[in-house]
Amino acid sequence: MGKASERRLRAMIRKADARKKSVLLVKNFVATTMGETPLLTEIQAFEMRHSFESDEERQEYATMIVALKSLGGCLEEAHVKYLEVMVPLNLLGGIFARAKEHRHFEDFLNELCLKTDGDYSKRLQDRAVAIGRLGPYFYDIGLEDEGGDRKSISLTESDQELALAKEINEALEQQASELKALIQVIRDLMKQYTTPIGSFTESIDDLEKRVREGIRLAKRSLYNTNFELWDEIRESLLKHSDPLLAMMEALPDYDDIVFDADLYNEKMRSVNQEIGQ
């Protein structure tokens, strides 16, 4: 930093109120800790820390530093919670992939049983249905009426698979709700005690982006809802009580999940106590 810049900084130190100086010191501390280019030299930071003129100003700076440490702890918790969100999301993605795989196998079996006259071979259908259950994924094989005397092979989820999907879905929603609560705590603490800190904001935005995209990809493994005729296709699937559609729509989008208010209130109360407010 040149002499002119140093003079401007010293002039700013003289004119700035305690909050502005505290914010600059906090941002400089974060940049240094994160391995980024510091906003101040060590001497400049030292001079600014010793420029507070009253106990109230020094207390404001001290409060901001304590809040910053609490923010760091909350950010660490959010990263841990993100990993906890990804466990059920990955499990659910596996269930979705199996469901789609078995839908393809169902189509394959029906094509295999199809005769040249357009009807199904009852003999081949009976042989396929005799398998009974397609392990190890708990899918039952049976015949489904298509109308009249015509029947097709159908692979349906067993009660065990449905219960497992429901349990994992609920776990995912809860973990995502808690993640959103922690992220909201971080955003509100920055507004209340410090200022939006770029690296913190980028970090929590990235966590939410990953979960949002993970849910979108899991759903898309069942159906591509971006297809321009999706609304018409969905109506048809609804009429036929399509299990894959029900499975997909049971999983809410990330933005539709409400944050855990109890966790949010508990965390805000705890952090405020740490900061001494």
Q: Count CB atoms within 10 A of the CB of residue 104.
A: 10
Q: Check if the beta carbon of residue 188 is closer than 8 Å to that of residue 272.
A: no
Greater confidence (51 vs 91) lies with 91
Query: 49 with 116, same domain?
Result: no
Residue 113 lies in a domain: yes
Q: Are residues 23 and 113 in the same domain?
A: no
Q: Which of 72-86, 90-104, 174-188 has the lowest mean pLDDT?
A: 90-104
CA triple 218-223-229, angle to 5 deg: 140
Is the same domain home to 87 and 201? yes
Asked whether residue 169 falls in the same domain as residue 114, the answer is yes
| Same domain, residue pair 13 and 111 | no
What's the pLDDT score for residue 134?
56
Average pLDDT over every residue of 225-235: 85
18 and 134, same domain (yes or no) = no
Residue 58 within any structural domain of the chain: no
Tokens of 110: 């029906």
Asked if residue 140 is part of any domain, the answer here is yes
Query: Which one has a higher pLDDT value, 8 or 168?
Result: 168
pLDDT on residue 10: 63
In this structure, are 100 and 208 located in the same domain? yes
Same-domain pairing of 158 and 135:
yes
Encoded tokens for 163: 């219960």
Give the dihedral of Cα atoms 116, 118, 124, 126; nearest 10 deg.
-160
Domain-embedded: residue 63 = no
Judged on CB neighbours under 10 Å (0-12, 13-18, 19+), 94 is: middle
Angle separating helix axes 18-33 and 42-49, nearest 10 degrees: 150
Hey, is 97 helix, strand or coil?
Answer: helix
Instruction: Quickly list DSSP for 204-246.
Output: HHHHHHHHHHHHHHHHHTT--TTSTTHHHHHHHHHHTT-HHHH
The model's pLDDT over 41-57, given as tens digits with 9 standing for 90+, comes to 777 777 777 777 777 87
Q: 208 and 240 share a domain?
A: yes
pTM of the predicted protein model: 0.78
- Domain hosting 40: range is 3-53
Percentages helix, strand, coil for the chain, rounded to the nearest 5?
Answer: 70, 10, 20
Residue 59 domain flag: no
> Is residue 46 included in any domain, yes or no?
yes
> Are residues 128 and 77 both part of a single domain?
yes
Are 117 and 241 in a shared domain? yes
Examine residue 229 and state whether it is found in any structural domain, yes or no. Answer: yes
**CB atoms closer than 10 angstroms to residue 27:** 21
Query: 231 lies in a domain?
Result: yes
Same domain, 200 and 252: yes
- pLDDT of 221 above 70: yes
The amino acid at residue 80 is: V
The total number of structural domains in the chain stands at 2
